[in-house]
């Protein structure tokens, strides 16, 4: 399995915890549904909190709904080394997305403590609230909260049942009045590490169990509302129609073409949610609301595609006699991993593996994207079967997860004693 003998982590404990957490919000045989700030999410957070306390960590759930476990260091005044991810899921999700980053970091720190290792600086393990963004259509809530990046009106966003984020957060135990006090001061975190399944097919195609992330694509999330005029489907002649769904379909098709327009480019474009009003078989659709997800590691190219998209929206609206509005939900720059952290990972991987892990970019965003605004960050990817994620069929082998956690452990140990080594 490795080039340097047995692992330092407790593999049985790691997999037992992954399996136990997967029972909360279980969906079918292999999936999970733990929507952010739901009762299932709270059950999961409280279970992980108990495991953190069993590992000897100091725990707290903050005003944003984030869970933290802290291992003291030799110098409490040094900037934190933070590691973690999230445990909330998509409504049709898998058991590994985010989870291995939280439980892997916990396993790494618990192994350190059991071996008597005392880090130079404090270490915090984070399970951030609402990374996925599917319930309130705006993700990275908890990590943006502690980094001071929340936007106006976020607490008034509503889910499909009409529940506001404020109501859900209060029921979860969060406290909007405590947001300011829960923010981390500038310089409080020195570096952030995240272990995550790849959620793509590259590592499997290369035949490699783990990879080192080079950077995260910049995501642009838009919500578009196109409005026409309802009429009887049997009596309004085709040339006289103002069909909002036909217009939306034209935009969706054009987005797909835009994302494919440069062969080999890392551009991706997706419409993942669409609602039609009045949604009747024999009424011409009057209003269609749909989401746009546009991403690229090359920001110049992404901005060019965005400009083209705006032009398409205007042309389609004019052609079909429609009006439209666009709400920007997320707009982030691409962010690159710290070279010094990647170097540590490569050096430790050389001792752990019989080959050099590849570097690869991340199309999906992660909590690391927000943390990159306040500190250096590094990520490790674990191979997943067929590149499947956000699906109950999501799967990574125990052996691949162990390698990822072992590399995370070794990276954390190296970075936790860098002051002593004069780094």
DSSP string across 12-32: HHHHHHHHHHTTTTEETTTEE
Residue 420 — pLDDT band, cuts 50, 70, 90?
A: very low
pLDDT of residue 423: 43
d(CA 34, CA 42): 9
Residue 5 pLDDT: 53
Q: Where are the domains of the chain?
A: 11-217+334-416, 218-331
State pTM to two decimals: 0.85
- Mind listing the pLDDT tens digit for each residue in 135-171? 998 999 999 999 999 999 999 999 999 999 999 999 9
* Cβ-Cβ contacts under 8 Å for 49 (sequence gap 6 or more): 59, 61, 67, 69
Name, in order, each residue with C-beta under 8 angstroms of 322's C-beta and a sequence gap of 6 or more.
226, 227, 228, 242, 244, 247, 316
SS3 of residue 388 by DSSP: coil
For CA atoms 235, 238, 244, 246, the dihedral sign is positive
Domain 11-217+334-416: CATH architecture, name and number where available: 3-Layer(aba) Sandwich (3.40)
- Fold agreement (11-217+334-416, 218-331): no
Measuring CA to CA, how many Å separate 168 from each of 14, 99, 262?
A: 30, 22, 42
With cut-offs at 50, 70 and 90, classify the pLDDT of residue 330. Answer: confident
Residue 199: pLDDT band with limits 50, 70, 90: very high
Residue 94 has pLDDT above 70, yes or no: yes
CA distance 19 to 25: 12
Confidence band for 421, pLDDT divided at 50, 70 and 90: very low
- Which CATH class, in words, describes the domain spanning 218-331? alpha beta
Structure confidence by residue, pLDDT tens digits, 309-324: 999 999 999 999 999 9
Structure tokens at 93: 């999700």
Average pLDDT over residues 191-199: 97
CB distance 247 to 232 below 8 Å: no
């Amino acid at each position: 399995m490795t080039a340097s003998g047995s692992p330092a982590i407790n593999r049985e404990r790691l997999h037992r915890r992954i399996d136990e957490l997967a029972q909360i919000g279980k969906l079918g045989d292999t999936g999970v549904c733990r929507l952010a700030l739901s009762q299932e999410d709270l059950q999961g957070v409280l279970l992980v909190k108990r495991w953190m306390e069993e590992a000897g960590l100091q725990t707290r759930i903050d005003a944003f709904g984030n869970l933290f476990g802290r291992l003291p260091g030799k110098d409490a005044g040094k900037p934190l080394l933070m590691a973690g991810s999230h445990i909330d899921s998509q409504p049709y999700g898998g058991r590994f997305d985010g989870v291995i980053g939280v439980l892997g970091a916990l396993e790494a720190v618990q192994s350190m403590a059991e071996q008597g290792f005392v880090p130079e600086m404090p270490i915090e393990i984070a399970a951030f609230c609402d990374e996925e963004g599917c319930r309130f259509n705006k993700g990275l809530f908890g990590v943006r909260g502690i980094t001071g990046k929340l936007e106006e009106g976020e607490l008034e966003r509503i889910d499909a049942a009409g529940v506001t984020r404020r109501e859900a957060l209060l029921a979860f135990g969060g406290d909007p009045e405590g947001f300011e006090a829960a923010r981390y001061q500038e310089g409080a975190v020195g570096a952030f590490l995240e272990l995550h399944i790849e959620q793509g097919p590259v590592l499997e195609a290369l035949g490699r169990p783990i990879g080192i992330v080079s950077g995260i694509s910049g995501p642009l999330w838009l919500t578009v509302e196109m409005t026409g005029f309802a009429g009887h489907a049997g009596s309004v002649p085709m040339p006289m129609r103002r069909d909002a769904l036909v217009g939306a379909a034209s935009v969706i098709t054009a987005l797909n073409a835009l994302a494919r327009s440069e062969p080999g480019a890392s551009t991706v474009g997706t419409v993942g949610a669409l609602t039609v009003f009045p949604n009747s078989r024999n009424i011409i659709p009057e209003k269609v609301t749909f989401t746009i997800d546009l991403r690229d590691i090359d920001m110049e190219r992404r901005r060019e595609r965005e400009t083209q998209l705006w032009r398409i929206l205007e042309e389609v609206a004019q052609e079909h006699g429609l009006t439209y509005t666009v709400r920007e939900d997320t707009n982030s720059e691409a962010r690159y991993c710290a070279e010094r952290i990647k170097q540590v990972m490569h050096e430790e991987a050389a001792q752990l593996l019989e080959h050099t892990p590849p570097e690869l970019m991340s199309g999906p965003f992660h909590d690391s994207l927000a943390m990159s605004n306040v500190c250096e960050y590094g990520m490790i990817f674990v191979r997943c079967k067929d590149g499947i994620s956000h699906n109950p069929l999501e799967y990574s082998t125990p052996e691949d997860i162990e390698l990822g956690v072992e590399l995370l452990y070794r990276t954390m140990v190296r970075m936790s004693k860098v002051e002593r080594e004069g780094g």
